[in-house]
Amino acid sequence: MLHLMQRLATTAPRPSRRSFLKLSAGAAGGLLIGVKLPGSMAQAAEGASAEQMFTPFVRITPDNIVTVLNKHLDMGQGNATGLATLVADELDASPEQVRAEFAPADASKYQNLFFGVQGTGGSTAIANSFEQYRKAGATARAMLVAAAADAWDVSSSEISVKAGTLSHASGKSATFGEMAEAAAKQEVPGEVTLKAPEDWVYIGKGFPRLDVPNKTVGAPNTYGMDVQREDQLVAVLARPRAFGGKVASFNADEARKVTGVVDIFDVPGHGVAVLATSTWPAIKAQGLLEIEWDESGAETRSSGTLFQEYRALADNDGPVFRDDGDAAAQLEGAARVVEETFEFPYLAHGMMEPMVLTIHVEGDRATLWYPAQFQTIDQATAASVLGIPQENVAINTLYGGGSFGRRTSFDAKHIVEAASIAKIWGKSQPIKLVYTREDDTRAGYYRPMGVHKVRAGLDADGNLVAWHHRIVQQSLMTGTAFESVAVKDGIDSTSIEGVEDFSYALANFHGELHSPKVGVPVLWWRSVGHTQTAYVVETMIDRAAEAAKADPVAFRRAHLTRKTGSDTHDADNTRKLGVLDKVVAMSGWDEGAPEERFRGVAVHKSFNTYVAEVAEVSRRDDGTFKVEKVWCAVDCGVAVNPDNVKAQMEGGIGYGLAAILFNEITLTDGHVDQENFDTYRPLRIEDMPEVAVEVIASAAAPTGAGEPGTPPIGPAVANAIRAATGSVPAVLPLSRAGLA
Amino acid sequence: MIRLNVNGEDREVDVDPDTPLLWVLRDELQMTGTKYGCGIAACGACTVQMDGFPTRSCQTRVSDVEGTKITTIEGVDGKAASAVQAAWREFDVPQCGYCQSGQILAATALLAETPKPTDDDIDAAMSGNVCRCATYHRIRAAIHRASDTMEG
């Protein structure tokens, strides 16, 4: 999700080899296995005592069910299955007996080891848990074996485990369920030996997605929107039309007449809330409210004005984020210079399930039901609004109907809204805050808009010699609790990720960042800064290749092969070449595009995963382009579930495609112009290209898969359009120029 | 009281006649498999079948369904539905899964009408069902598989 998390990843302590394992008798007399965290992690988890550091991940019950507790939110990216796969492999469980369950909110037990708090993002779910969940599985296995050895009076070493069954050469055998209670009484092994990769039975091969059966039958209580508590009220909030607006006055006479409406009141700073006995009356009443807004302190600029201001800033010097050699001087003397100014719009996440949250406040305790993406922030926020201790906030996590970054924000606005409504209502009654699609589209927390101005210089031999890159983009992190980590000397790492690690061989690089202040709340959006930076870098590389009269792949290879003077960049380039070569082979790049088809390529690293994509497009009679086919090669280290990695690439490509083809959030006098899927056009099945994905075999530590498929699709399509038209679209979305 | 028939059962609900069928199913009948996505019939998450035809329940007033037979994800069955649900599981189609009830209802209706759909048939029938996870690639493959299963 963000560069910040990568930075935290490099500084956060990893679980040490001396992590010791601990056991307690769990529910129903079964096993609860956890890995105790080393002391340094204990400090990271806010104020947790040593006893609370016990981390339960695995439950085995006498009914022979193995339940894996998922400390992360699964919003479609498949980590519930991924983490269960890690446990099942070491445990030698059978897929049929494995279940996934969301862990409660408790940072002392369930923190993201890269973050130090409980939360999901940055494509880290597998990466931070890879050793932790395998150890939990191995520990459970060792204790089951020890219990069987006791029961059968044989040595542990004589017992084998396969697909959920313990057996001995004498013919004795038992299921996990039969041995669970006895195993719970066994001593916890101080050390467990993890399998060698060649012994993995599921990792790198496959495991059925545990959430899919329920998701094909419309099972109840799956998503946040499905929550139905006894005596529950539904709240719908009418939010200000301009960000920072306030309620001046309102008339709810007509709205109150709607059958089912219970109350309507001002939620200071947030809008006007309608409470009703069910959803439809609340939505209907919201539409009947007459509200006068005070926009005196609001952001009332229009998008056009903002872009003018951004473009003006892009002409001026700004804070420097990278400075190698002397780019300015080398550009003066370059044989060829290519330059461009790019415009990126605000984007909404547009997940299928709008924001939703159910809260029940009882005295000094609160219980929440929703797709919780950043439990620790959410707990603290609810506690703060309600004036109760943080540990008194319980969270029940449900599957997220998508998120793409939307379900967590620094200020946890959705938590603040729901808790504020509950506080004003005052009665101990569950309240479900539902965003309509229109609310969701207009509530802000967008991918930031931005302007990039770039000049690239080549020498007479067609080699890149200089790159000057100026970014104008609103900061995600400034003014948040993460500012001290993520913003250094005025540079927000999320604005420059994907270009500050520019690794094509080049001696002179100069990068600057302006971070204008705008009153529109912005947020990470699937791959955060990378959709903008990958688009700019990879389309400019194509332009440079054209200036050098080189094939785009040949030009990339030349600049990825040459030594850069940086070991980090050389290592990146080796893996970039790996995926580039693979996608070139898959697509038959060297044979050229079929008649009436045009191809473009892009390669990009994000979240430590390397992805190359080739897009093939055709032109319709009206001048718009159809993306016909995409080939994708991905190197994410060990792919725990390769088919799920493929699914994430397919989905990441489709998600990125909608954005570059059609999507923009625009403002008129501060009011968002779009409101629903009629004006914020989603990708539909007829827009979806054929997609072929190959996963590079790798023994490297697993990295992320949820986000890295998205950044390369924009530039790959733009480069294919360049192949057809001779120019790269510099203003997104492509529909603006009649290209989509 | 408004009468409706859902998944073969006669039900009675006490709501305003203009209440969308979607919210009757979800809030009154506690059948939450049918999803709210947009409220303007632009995304298909709320798709049910009315007398076998795919219908957006968010734009269908409950008073307009009297005398019809409504089928939801909780009740859809038969050869096409079984084949579709099995193919959805075989291909691990869902990611977040929120739209998939609607996708399955739409795909089932397609196969009941057109047992051997072409890609163009699939695009035409499924165009109204948005998936923001973009599982379209697998939806297409799974519909073809379901079609093969039904034939075999």
Question: Within 13 Å, how many C-alpha atoms sit on residue A41's CB side?
Answer: 27
Mark yes or no for CB contact A650/B135 under 8 Å. yes
Assess A401–B contact: CB distance below 8 Å, yes or no.
yes
Nearest Cα residue in chain A from B45: A352
Residues 98-117 of chain B with CB under 8 A from chain A are: 98-101, 104
Assess A78–B contact: CB distance below 8 Å, yes or no.
yes
pTM: 0.94
pLDDT at B124 over 90: yes
Mark yes or no for CB contact A352/B98 under 8 Å. yes
Q: Are A32 and A188 in contact, with CB atoms under 8 Å apart? A: no
Assess B90–A contact: CB distance below 8 Å, yes or no.
no
Distances (CA, A) of B63 to A214, A280, B18: 31, 15, 7
Domain limits, chain A: 3-215, 224-296+355-434, 303-347+445-737
pLDDT reported for residue A660: 98
Assess B97–A contact: CB distance below 8 Å, yes or no.
yes
Q: At the topology level of CATH, where does B79-151 sit?
A: DNA polymerase; domain 1 (1.10.150)
Architecture of the domain delimited by A303-347+445-737: 2-Layer Sandwich (3.30)
Assess A399–B contact: CB distance below 8 Å, yes or no.
yes
pLDDT reported for residue A211: 98
Domain limits, chain B: 2-71, 79-151
H or E element in which residue A713 lies: helix A713-725
Considering only the beta carbons, identify the residue of A209, A220, A655 that sits closest to B92: A209
Which ranges of chain A have pLDDT less than 70? Answer: 1-55
Considering only the beta carbons, identify the residue of B74, B95, B132 that sits closest to A218: B74
A431 strand-pairing partners: A233, A359
Residues 90-149 of chain A with CB under 8 A from chain B are: none
Chains A, B: CB contacts within 8 A come to 185
- Which of helix, strand or coil describes residue B8? coil
Nearest Cα residue in chain A from B135: A651
Mark yes or no for CB contact A352/B45 under 8 Å. yes
Mark yes or no for CB contact B88/A655 under 8 Å. no
Alpha carbon of A187: minimum distance to chain B alpha carbons (Å): 39
Interface probe for B, chosen from A217, A288, A685, A687 (most Cβ of B below 10 Å), is: A685
pLDDT reported for residue A184: 84
Q: Tell me if domain A3-215 and domain A303-347+445-737 are identical in fold.
A: yes
Mark yes or no for CB contact A279/B23 under 8 Å. yes
Mean pLDDT for chain B overall? 97
pLDDT reported for residue A187: 86
Nearest Cα residue in chain A from B58: A280
Residues on chain A touching B44 (C-beta within 8 angstroms): none
Mark yes or no for CB contact B92/A212 under 8 Å. yes
Between CA A122 and CA A141 the distance in angstroms is 31
Nearest Cα residue in chain A from B23: A280
Considering only the beta carbons, identify the residue of B23, B129, B139 that sits closest to A280: B23
DSSP-assigned states of every residue in A22-73: EEEE-GGG-EEEEEPPPHHHHHHSTT--TGGG--EEEEE-TTS-EEEEE-S-
pLDDT reported for residue A2: 41
Mark yes or no for CB contact A352/B127 under 8 Å. no
Alpha carbon of B138: minimum distance to chain A alpha carbons (Å): 9
Residues in chain B: 152
Separation of first and last alpha carbons in chain B: 45
| Residues in Cβ contact with A252 at an 8 Å cutoff, skipping those fewer than 6 apart | A264, A272, A285, A288, A289, A290
Q: What is the CATH number of domain B2-71?
A: 3.10.20.30
Mark yes or no for CB contact A684/B85 under 8 Å. no
Interface probe for A, chosen from B13, B14, B95, B104 (most Cβ of A below 10 Å), is: B95
Residue A652 phi/psi, 5-degree rounding, is -65, -35
Q: Is the ipTM of this complex over 0.90?
A: yes
Interface probe for B, chosen from A79, A211, A216 (most Cβ of B below 10 Å), is: A216
pLDDT reported for residue B129: 98
Q: What tens digit of pLDDT does each residue of A34-92 get? A: 433 333 332 333 333 222 222 489 999 999 999 999 999 999 999 999 999 999 999 99
State in words which class domain A3-215 has: alpha beta
Alpha carbon of A656: minimum distance to chain B alpha carbons (Å): 10
Question: Within 13 Å, how many C-alpha atoms sit on residue A238's CB side?
Answer: 26
Alpha carbon of B47: minimum distance to chain A alpha carbons (Å): 12
> Judging by beta carbons within 10 Å of its beta carbon (0-12, 13-18, 19+), is residue A237 exposed, middle or buried?
buried
Between CA A678 and CA B132 the distance in angstroms is 14
Considering only the beta carbons, identify the residue of A219, A648, A686 that sits closest to B127: A686
Residue B6 phi/psi, 5-degree rounding, is -120, 125
Q: At the topology level of CATH, where does A224-296+355-434 sit?
A: Aldehyde Oxidoreductase; domain 4 (3.30.365)
Between CA A125 and CA A70 the distance in angstroms is 10
